[in-house]
Amino acid sequence: MKAIKTKLNFSKLVEVQGIAVLLNNLGLKSTKQRFAVLSALHKHKSPMTAEKIVAKTGIDLATAYRTLESFEKAGLVDKFNLKDSSFFYEIRNEHHHHIVCDKCGFIEEIETCNFEKMTPNSKKFSFISEHSLEFFGICKNCVKKIP
């Protein structure tokens, strides 16, 4: 009953072998679009939608989705959803969760995950492989703006 997501430290991998080699090792050709997606996600430091990635990189939207999908399959990127109707993507790192501001959409990463303390006992399930946990609230910036 443990989370089974692979831990891949992107920064460390890049540092050691470079992006081109990293991609090649994953069976992906290194193209400028893929560099752009990785770099956008890396710089932004918080989850992005495909549309936001397009806005930052100028690549085609379909390419963005295809790139993100192949990155996800390769274990380089995680995909998840919040309350919204779009999916968010982020470079996979240590297992973590998020707090999302209901006003401005700002997303903060939370490191702590007391998974053991909240693992449910189920008579109908054989095992649990994964969980998602997101918090919603108001960030300090937005609280200021409330009259």
Q: Are 35 and 29 in contact (CB under 8 A)?
A: no
Query: Least separation, in Å, of the C-beta of 103 and a copy of itself?
Result: 10
Give the one entry of a copy of itself, DNA, none that residue 13 binds, where binding means its C-beta sits below a cut-off of 5 to 8 angstroms depending on kind.
none
29, 43, 140, 145: which one contacts a copy of itself (CB under 8 A)?
140
Q: Are 47 and 98 in contact (CB under 8 A)?
A: yes
Residue 19 buriedness (CB in 10 A; 0-12 / 13-18 / 19+): middle
Q: How many CB atoms lie within 10 A of CB 77?
A: 22
Query: Least separation, in Å, of the C-beta of 121 and DNA?
Result: 31
- Helix or strand run (H / E) with residue 98: strand 97-101
- Position 17 contacts DNA (CB under 7 A): no
Give the one entry of DNA, a copy of itself, none that residue 99 binds, where binding means its C-beta sits below a cut-off of 5 to 8 angstroms depending on kind.
a copy of itself
- Position 6 contacts a copy of itself (CB under 8 A): no
CA angle at 103 for the pair 101 and 105, rounded to the nearest 5°:
50
Q: Which residues, 18 to 57, sit near DNA by CB under 7 A?
A: 20, 23-24, 28-34, 49-51
6, 43, 132, 145: which one contacts a copy of itself (CB under 8 A)?
132
8/71 Cα distance (integer angstroms):
12
Nearer to DNA, 33 or 39 (CB): 33
Task: Kindly list the residues in this chain that would bind DNA in the complex (CB under 7 A).
Answer: 20, 23-24, 28-34, 49-51, 59-63, 65-67, 69-70, 84-87
